[in-house]
Amino acid sequence: MERYINNSIFREYDIRGIVKDDFNDSLVEDIGRAYGTILRKNNFKDISVSGDIRSTTPRLKKNIIKGLISTGVNVYDLGILPTPANYFSLFKTKVKNSIQITGSHNPSNYNGFKISYNKKPFYGKSIQELKKIIIEGNFIESNTEGLIFKRNILNDYNSYLISLFDYNSNIKVSMDCGNASACLTAPEIYEKLGIHVNALFCDVDSSFPNHHPDPTVDSNLSKLIEDVLKNKSNLGVAFDGDADRLIVVDNLGRIIRSDILIGLFVNFIIDKNDYVVYDVKCSKALKEIIEKNKGIPIECKTGHSIIKNKIIEYSCKIGGEMSGHIFFSDKYFGFDDAVYVSLRLIDILLKNKVKLSDLVDSLPKYISTPEIRIDCENDDVKNDIVCKVTNYFKSKFNYSDIDGIKLIFDHGWALIRSSNTQPVIVLRFEADNNILLDKYIKIIKTTFKEICDFEISF
Ligand SMILES: [Zn+2]
């Protein structure tokens, strides 16, 4: 009997699914065998493996390691870690490949695999190649199994981050680790740096009893905002499930969207002719901040793996995307590390003796919607609608088609793109004021109705 594999687990940037349904032991072992095969074919002999705090992680780790060593690859087991500590190992040890077992910000019944190859993200076509090896059973078998070594990287990672900063004055930070992997690093690092922390949900609990570890959903930030206001904190930080993304709240309890946070950093970091990479969902404000600093904006497709590679390609000091992934090559390794990003922000506030709210208010401001997700019946319906409206809009408006279609209006823009992973159309709008924002939204809604008889309600 042919084995059932849910194709949708092989996503654009990682492998992810519901553990009970999608990851039986033999499939996970085969994912290990397939990646081991790819490593051996490219003359790599070693890999580091670690995982986040989810209750299903140990079983997935055991099986993926079993598959990896069957191909003769040696495994360095780094234990339970946030994702950035896994990336850190790629730069601080001789092992250039890794797998992090993590469900990122998804609910507790999910888990998955983020893979690095030769210090870079393994994504897109590479994940499809891995899937092909599994389906065809085209594995390298080794006469001698690889060896398994235990290695502790967590202490080195924490100590390294502590060594990078020297804060000479007091600051109060409300911190929400969502009971997830950031609990293993952020509270200790902050304490050793002498930061006064109001800790919310900073004890590991893989059932995520307080909220899903996804700070990009505003409702998950309500307790953090409350705490910032009640305790008069200088800022609030919330980390996602594996601590590669963060959302910041300012001293007035306002949520700082990631595009604005990147813009804030740009003002302090870039020099003339420096490139800054960001995704199509980001505000025009970010482009303007980069240009004001005489830098060169590079707008690209959404996807943290894409941005990470572009940052290397353009030697950017900083880049990032709306989803909360922010990458520093300036004084760091160029990977997305939410705890590091939060420390850089604190560093700016202390060195410049400024309030976060004042910094935010000094940036250009536009009215924008959050990301709006429209469910479709299936992928065919989604693609058909996007194709039809895209053709129509191309004949009517100025546009950019880097990722989906972004209509450029005189005083704002509208983005329409297909989700890479779900039967969902993603929309985002921005304008100089609310009246124009409503006008742009109306244009899109009317066109969807007229061209595709598709009602958008939000
Ligand atoms: Zn994450």
Residue-wise pLDDT tens digits, 176-185: 999 999 999 9
Tell me if domain 7-152 and domain 164-361 are identical in fold: yes
Q: Please report the pLDDT score of residue 2 as a whole number.
A: 61
**Ligand 1 centroid distance, CA of 325 (Å):** 8
**Ligand 1 centroid distance, CA of 244 (Å):** 5
**Ligand 1 centroid distance, CA of 273 (Å):** 31
Query: Which sign, positive or negative, has the C-alpha torsion 219, 419, 104, 367?
Result: negative
User: Is the domain covering 164-361 a CATH 3.40.120.10 domain?
Assistant: yes
The CATH class of 367-452 is alpha beta
Residues forming a β-bridge with 137: none
| Side chain identity at residue 142, one-letter code | S
Alpha-carbon gap, residue 182 to 163, rounded angstroms? 18
Task: Determine whether 435 is exposed, middle or buried from the number of CB atoms within 10 Å of its CB (0-12, 13-18, 19+).
Answer: exposed
CB atoms within 10 A of CB 386: 19
SS3 state of residue 183:
helix
Q: Which residues are catalytic?
A: 104
pLDDT at 1 over 60: no
Using alpha carbons, list the distances in angstroms from residue 42 to 34, 45, 70, 73, 99: 13, 9, 16, 12, 17
pLDDT-derived band at 114 (thresholds 50, 70, 90) equals very high
**Ligand 1 centroid distance, CA of 221 (Å):** 16
Contact 189, 213 (CB under 8 A): no
Q: What is the CATH number of domain 7-152?
A: 3.40.120.10
pLDDT at 421 over 90: no
DSSP code of 362? Answer: T
Contact 402, 280 (CB under 8 A): yes
Residue 218 sits at φ, ψ, to 5 deg, of -55, -35
**Ligand 1 centroid distance, CA of 241 (Å):** 6
Mean pLDDT, residues 61-68: 98
pLDDT at 299 over 90: yes
Mean pLDDT, residues 69-86: 98
H-state helical runs in 274-355: 284-292, 304-313, 338-352
**Ligand 1 centroid distance, CA of 390 (Å):** 31
More confident of the two residues 34 and 306? 34
SS3 state of residue 12:
coil
Q: Please report the pLDDT score of residue 170 as a whole number.
A: 87
Alpha-carbon gap, residue 233 to 37, rounded angstroms? 50
Please identify which residue in the block is written with the tokens 């390298």.
140
Name the residues around ion ligand 1, CB cutoff 5 A: 104, 240, 242, 244-245
Hey, where are the domains in the chain?
7-152, 164-361, 367-452
Instruction: Please state the pTM of the whole predicted model.
Output: 0.94
Q: Please report the pLDDT score of residue 458 as a whole number.
A: 80
Which residue, 342, 257, 317, 301, is CA-closest to 426? 301
Q: Please report the pLDDT score of residue 168 as a whole number.
A: 82
H-helix or E-strand containing 371? none
